Amino acid sequence: MEQFPPEGFIETDSAVDGVLVYMPRPDEIEDDAVKIYRCARCNGNMRFDPAQNALQCTVCNNHETACDNCNSSMTYDTEHGQLICTACGNMQLVNFQPHTGSQMADRREFREEYLDQAAEGWGVEVKEIACQSCGATVTVEPNQLTTNCSCCGSSKIVMQKQKDDAQRPSYLVPFKITDEQSHTIAAEWLEKSWLVPKAAKQFASMGEFTQLYVPFWTFDARCDGDWKCEVGHERRVRRDGKTVTEIDWRPEWGSVADMYDDVQVNGTTHIKPKHMKAVGSFDLATLTEYEGRYLVGTQALAYDTPIHDAWQKARHTMRSDLLRQAKKQPSKSRVRNFEMDMRYGDEAWRYILVPLYIATYFYNNKPYQLVLNGQDGRIVGQRPADWRKIGFTALTPALIGLILLLVGYFAAISPLLTVGGILLAISAILGLVLAIQGKGMSNE
């Protein structure tokens, strides 16, 4: 009987349940910086499991991995804290150990030669998709046949060649929140609002959350500022028999300095800035040196904010903070013509990836997005409002008030007229408040 599948073919995703589909095994890539991680038991694709801090097979859930040298099974060596091959003795690190703090992660000086020397590409075999709706560029696994955009949920995507000239991340913040925990957090968050329709709340348990690494830039700098201004000194004088206050403006000057460490700048414009602000910033004490294996089974969003544009945003943040400090130094609170000259030194930067869970769901054919911090579980997003609930809640006191008004009018009972009028007013105010709240939920 002939071998099946034939030699050189591997199983891939199938669009029809119960039908197995095989594809030619991808050609081996000679570049040592690019690696494909497959299960030693079933040859399935491996993905990083934050709960186990290891690679997990997406087919059989096996936590082993294959030897880079001979493809045999590997076992964990507790003495060395690494995996060791049972056949050739090759050792490789799989449990990724973060640096003891962000200070341990090397910075790069802000000089052109360091920018030119930065590694390029993702360092692992991936495909890139370009969304035709929002313009985002996202990585997906090589054998993934179909997907939607992680940022906007659109199916209008096209495959494109991986951009090898884009800088490679230096470090990343690993996922700590598991997929199961993300669903629990989302369910609790949706349950907090009684205005959310029941069908939308069910999404938290049935919907799919995408693990997405998002680009960030971090900057360090020493900032020095020399300031000058005019300070108002009050004095009381008698003029025309009255006591009046006059102000003498006197020049003052001084200097201020500060060191800024890890000023974080979002590297993408494809996730709403208010969502990123709500779930960031990130604790960089767990920064881990970037390896391509971290993208196995996850997606990564390419940066679209270049480093020089990000640096200008970081400079603005530093300048605003230093200016705030400088304005506290004059001897009096009454100040005019305040000026400050600022200098930057010892500039350094890093390109890092930070973890998010993103889900886009549809309610009444309208998309809603949830964004969850993959490090600490903070969540923000859009929620639909149940306008039937809002209408019923607002109209109930109006109906009661109308009945009281009619009874009071025909029975000539003035207190009922008063109460009925109050209920109508309450109904109008309540309806307006709930309408504003419902509209705000959709636009969060």
Q: List pLDDT tens digits, range 271-306.
A: 888 888 888 778 888 888 888 777 777 888 888 888
Q: What is the pLDDT of residue 321?
A: 95
Q: Is 331 exposed, middle or buried (0-12, 13-18, 19+ CB in 10 A)?
A: exposed
Range list of β-strands (E), 155-209: 157-160, 171-172
Distance CA 142, CA 165 (A): 19
Amino acid, single-letter form, for residue 222: R
238-265: pLDDT as tens digits: 888 888 888 999 999 999 999 999 999 9
Reference 366, options 186, 211, 199, 131; nearest CA is 199
Q: Which residues of the chain have pLDDT under 50?
A: 1, 28-35, 76, 78-79, 81, 94-104, 112-113, 145
How far, in Å, CA of 5 to CA of 57, rounded?
A: 20
Consecutive H or E run containing 407: helix 387-411
Name 49's bridge partners: 54
Q: DSSP alpha helices (H): ranges in 211-363?
A: 273-279, 307-326
Which residues are CB-contacts of 123 (< 8 A; sequence separation ≥ 6)?
Answer: 33, 34, 168, 290, 291, 292
Residue 50 near residue 67, CB atoms below 8 Å = no
Phi, psi of 303 (to 5 degrees): -75, 145
pLDDT in the model for residue 126: 65
The pLDDT assigned to 33 comes to 38
* Torsions phi, psi for 196 (to 5 deg): -75, 130
Give the residue extent of every domain in the chain.
1-95, 98-219+258-303+347-383, 387-442
Choose among 332, 330, 338: nearest CA to 232: 332
